[in-house]
């Protein structure tokens, strides 16, 4: 087997991936035993070597995505071809190479011997597969197939979802993209015509059942539609459109999970129509991803609650006229996250970088936009409350919802995480397309840079990453439709967010000096991509407190 003659051997790819999967399971089992205390996972023990658990989470993400990529590439029902199969073969080899490289750097810390590593992941068959699959000629062949077929890989969508995708691709190209550079460079507001256009297309009712005025079937969730729209809008511009449906998504799922019938009837139709635009207020200055530490208080008074404190990173909070606010309604500090509730507060809509609103009873809310290097258009605010009154009927879930705010917002955030993956996929797609075009136009040393195999290597790797990420994202959407997939949603959010920085960085690099100039959109893609690993859960928290901890817990259960 040579790099020039590697075949499209699904069974060999699966066999090699099975070897790395077994190693991950074994080291997870050993680490779980080491970090257990009375049969439960000890976070302080995990924190003694955070690097190992961060990397364990990353290896698990790559492993799961690679395994699914191979299945997708040989699924005739989605229209996969030899292009997707070649991508999957190479992606699987890269994944196993990364995993064995990481573990072999610090085997003692992973509680495994080099002899075990060599037996499991350095056999002649695996060595030969990796060397053959990762040969430079295979990357060039992938790009040649892309050029021949005229696309970067099939989306594998149903006919209805593909029509949906094309409609929003057209909207993003013709309505969003023309405004993207102006808004980014001037830190301007989203043009009203974009928001109204998405209202007209029913965009804000994507996850709301038809019985409440949305476009989702009453009898079955449809997360794929939400992902398709999110990806295409993000491809046009992350800040102008790609995140517009995230807040309605989080709001609606929290309402559907915990809202009273009266609350659902009152709010969901107005969210679906776009009459109510949402703002999500969870993060605080001293408590980022540590939601249990929320300190903004909601004190019960006659007829409702008064809110005091400061929330930060509240995207779209100025324009939003319906706020989801996670507050501490219970005074007992020992309750931690069980002392949190959600209040739904209405306020006037404001444009600009600052807003202030005073209630008739003297309560007030004011916000100021935080300057950011990218993700401009929606603006993220720091918001302060002073005796801001919210009526009792706006306590999510009513009296039954007191102390359950953490769980309600987590229902919304699972959708937010998978949406972040779709947003990352859209930005990566836009960056790759820009790099592909520029590489064919730009000449260096008398020939297009596209003709150099280093350029082809980069484009091929971008295409593989995006396709693998997209297909796993769609897979997770189907799991969420069945009320499963919480862990998988975190895995793909973690992976897509981090890898988007590499893709946009390399797209920028292919542009050379012009990639650093605002004249080309690729510089915007790069700074926009940087936010993915921060919002909807910082990558370190996702890796250490969610993925790795869950893996250890599952290992202890056997």
pLDDT in tens, 185-211: 999 999 999 999 999 999 999 989 999
Which of these, 92, 179, 162, 103, lies nearest to 132 by C-alpha position?
Answer: 92
What pLDDT is attached to residue 416?
79
Which residues fall within 8 angstroms of residue 286, CB to CB, at 6 or more apart?
293, 295
Rounded to an integer, what is the distance from CA 434 to the centroid of its chain? 22
Neighbouring CB atoms inside 10 A of 360's CB total 6
Does residue 318 register a pLDDT over 70? yes
- The backbone torsions φ and ψ at residue 350, rounded to the nearest 5 degrees and listed phi first, read -125, 150
With 0-12 / 13-18 / 19 or more C-beta atoms within 10 angstroms meaning exposed / middle / buried, residue 383 is buried
Check if the beta carbon of residue 321 is closer than 8 Å to that of residue 276.
Answer: yes
What pLDDT is attached to residue 365?
96
Does residue 1 register a pLDDT over 70? no
Name the token pair of 550.
């869950």
Does residue 181 register a pLDDT over 50? yes
What pLDDT is attached to residue 5?
46
> 65-81 burial string, b = 16+ CB within 10 Å, else e?
bbbbbbebbbeeebebe
Q: What does the alpha-carbon distance between residue 162 and residue 14 come to, in Å, rounded to a whole number? A: 29
Provide mean pLDDT across the span 475-504: 93
Does residue 3 register a pLDDT over 50? no
What is the per-residue pLDDT across 403-446, written as a single tens digit (0 to 9) for each? 999 888 887 777 778 899 999 999 999 999 999 999 988 877 77
Mean pLDDT of the chain: 92
Consecutive H or E run containing 58: helix 50-73
Residues in the chain: 558
Q: What does the alpha-carbon distance between residue 423 and residue 241 come to, in Å, rounded to a whole number? A: 10
What is the per-residue pLDDT across 157-176, written as a single tens digit (0 to 9) for each? 999 999 989 999 999 999 99
> Where do we find the tokens 């390399």?
506
Position with higher pLDDT, 285 vs 271: 271
What is the per-residue pLDDT across 11-57, written as a single tens digit (0 to 9) for each? 999 999 999 999 999 999 999 999 999 889 999 999 999 999 999 99
Q: What does the alpha-carbon distance between residue 7 and residue 314 come to, in Å, rounded to a whole number? A: 50
88 pLDDT band (50/70/90 cuts)?
Answer: very high
Integer-rounded Cα Rg, in Å, for the chain is 24
Q: What does the alpha-carbon distance between residue 191 and residue 240 come to, in Å, rounded to a whole number? A: 8
Grouping H, G, I as helix, E, B as strand and the rest as coil, residue 313 is: strand
Determine the Cα angle at 390 with ends 389 and 391, to 5°: 120
Check if the beta carbon of residue 326 is closer than 8 Å to that of residue 406.
Answer: yes
Consecutive H or E run containing 231: helix 223-236
What pLDDT is attached to residue 174?
95
Give the single-character DSSP code of 36: E
**Residues involved in catalysis:** 536
Neighbouring CB atoms inside 10 A of 172's CB total 25
Check if the beta carbon of residue 266 is closer than 8 Å to that of residue 322.
Answer: no
Which of these, 557, 407, 535, 545, lies nearest to 487 by C-alpha position?
Answer: 545
Give the single-character DSSP code of 550: H
Residue range(s) of every CATH 2.40.110.10 domain in the chain: 278-406
Beta bridge partners of 395: 343
What pLDDT is attached to residue 130?
95
Taking domain 10-149, whether its CATH number is 1.20.140.10 is answered by yes
Name the token pair of 525.
């893609």
C-alpha dist (Å) from residue 341 to 5, 254, 288, 308, 439: 60, 12, 17, 14, 52
Which of these, 517, 415, 428, lies nearest to 235 by C-alpha position?
Answer: 428
Does residue 363 register a pLDDT over 90? yes
Residue range(s) of every CATH 1.20.140.10 domain in the chain: 10-149
Q: What does the alpha-carbon distance between residue 18 and residue 95 come to, in Å, rounded to a whole number? A: 12
Please tell me the pTM assigned to this model: 0.92
CATH class of the region 278-406: mainly beta
Check if the beta carbon of residue 319 is closer than 8 Å to that of residue 276.
Answer: no
What pLDDT is attached to residue 519?
82
Q: At what angle do helices 246-258 and 405-441 cross, to 10 degrees?
A: 160
What pLDDT is attached to residue 374?
86
Q: What does the alpha-carbon distance between residue 330 and residue 328 come to, in Å, rounded to a whole number? A: 6
């Amino acid at each position: 087997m040579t790099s020039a003659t590697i075949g499209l051997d699904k069974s060999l790819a699966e066999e090699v991936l099975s070897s790395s999967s077994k190693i991950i399971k074994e080291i997870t089992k050993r680490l779980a035993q080491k970090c257990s205390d009375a049969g439960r996972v000890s976070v302080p023990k995990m924190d003694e070597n955070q690097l190992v658990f961060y990397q364990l989470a990353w290896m698990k993400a790559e492993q799961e995505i690679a395994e699914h990529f191979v299945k997708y590439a040989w699924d005739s029902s989605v229209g996969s071809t030899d292009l997707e199969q070649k991508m999957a073969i190479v992606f699987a080899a890269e994944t196993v190479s990364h995993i064995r490289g990481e573990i072999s750097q610090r085997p003692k810390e992973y509680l495994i011997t080099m002899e075990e590593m060599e037996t499991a992941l350095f056999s002649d068959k695996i060595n030969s597969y990796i060397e053959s699959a990762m040969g430079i000629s295979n990357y060039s062949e992938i790009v040649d197939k892309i050029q021949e077929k005229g696309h970067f890989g099939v989306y594998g969508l149903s006919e209805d979802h593909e029509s949906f995708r094309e409609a929003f691709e057209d909207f993003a190209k013709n309505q969003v993209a023309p405004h993207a550079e102006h808004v980014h460079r001037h830190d301007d507001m989203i043009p009203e015509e974009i928001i109204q256009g998405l209202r007209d297309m029913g965009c804000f009712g994507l996850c709301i059942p038809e019985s409440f005025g949305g476009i989702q079937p009453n009898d079955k969730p449809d997360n794929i539609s939400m992902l398709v729209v999110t990806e295409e809008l993000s491809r046009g511009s992350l800040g102008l459109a790609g995140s517009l449906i995230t807040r309605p998504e989080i709001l609606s799922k929290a309402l559907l999970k915990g809202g009273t019938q009266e609350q659902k009837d009152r709010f969901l139709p107005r969210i679906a129509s776009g009459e109510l635009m949402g703002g999500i207020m969870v993060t605080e200055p001293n408590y980022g991803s540590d939601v249990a530490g929320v300190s903004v208080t909601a004190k019960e008074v006659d007829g409702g609650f008064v809110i005091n404190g400061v929330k930060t990173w509240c995207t779209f909070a100025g324009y939003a006229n319906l706020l989801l606010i996670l507050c501490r309604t219970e005074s007992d500090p020992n309750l931690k996250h069980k002392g949190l509730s959600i209040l739904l507060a209405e306020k006037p809509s404001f444009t600009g970088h600052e807003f202030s609103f005073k209630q008739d009873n003297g309560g007030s809310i004011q916000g100021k936009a935080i300057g950011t290097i990218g993700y401009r258009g929606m603006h993220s605010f720091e918001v302060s409350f002073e005796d801001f009154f919210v009526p009792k009927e706006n306590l999510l879930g009513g009296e039954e919802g007191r102390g359950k705010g953490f769980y309600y917002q987590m229902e919304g955030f699972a959708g937010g995480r998978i949406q972040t993956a779709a947003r990352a996929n859209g930005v990566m797609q836009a960056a790759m397309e820009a790099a592909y075009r520029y590489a064919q136009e730009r000449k260096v040393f008398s020939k297009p840079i596209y003709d150099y195999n280093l350029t082809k290597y980069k484009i091929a790797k971008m295409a593989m990453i995006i396709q693998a990420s997209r297909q796993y994202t769609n897979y997770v959407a189907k799991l969420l439709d069945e009320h499963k997939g919480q862990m998988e949603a975190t895995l793909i959010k973690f992976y897509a967010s981090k890898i988007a920085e590499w893709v946009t960085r390399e797209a920028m690099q292919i542009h050379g000096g012009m990639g650093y100039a605002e004249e080309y959109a690729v510089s915007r893609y790069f700074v926009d991509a940087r936010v993915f690993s921060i919002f909807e859960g910082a990558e370190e928290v996702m890796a250490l407190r969610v993925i790795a901890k869950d893996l250890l817990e599952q290992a202890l259960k056997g």
